[in-house]
Amino acid sequence: MTCFNRLMQFLVGLNDSFDHIRNQILLMDPLPIINKAYSMVLRVEKQREVYIVFAENI
């Protein structure tokens, strides 16, 4: 499987709540390797977790 195919498979498998980061990744030129894309998605997920914890403590 090519790097492009693995990246597309990863992006297609993302939950709809990651639409924004998926679109950002698809707009990158050149497309990132899958490790970079995974890192970007993970960063968004961690930011959401921090926001939830912060919101619960207000």
Q: Domain residue spans in the chain?
A: 3-56
What percentage of the chain carries pLDDT values higher than 90? Answer: 84
**Confidence tier at 15 by pLDDT (50, 70, 90):** very high
**Euclidean distance between CA atoms 34 and 41, whole angstroms:** 10
Q: What digits encode the pLDDT tens for the residues 18-45?
A: 999 999 999 999 999 999 999 999 999 9
What does the pLDDT read at residue 3?
Answer: 95
Question: Can you read off the two tokens belonging to residue 56?
Answer: 């619960």
Tell me the one-letter amino acid at 3. Answer: C
Q: What is the CA radius of gyration of the chain?
A: 13
Is residue 4 a contact partner of residue 30, using CB atoms and an 8 Å limit? no
Mean pLDDT of the chain: 95
Question: Can you read off the two tokens belonging to residue 15?
Answer: 């939950």
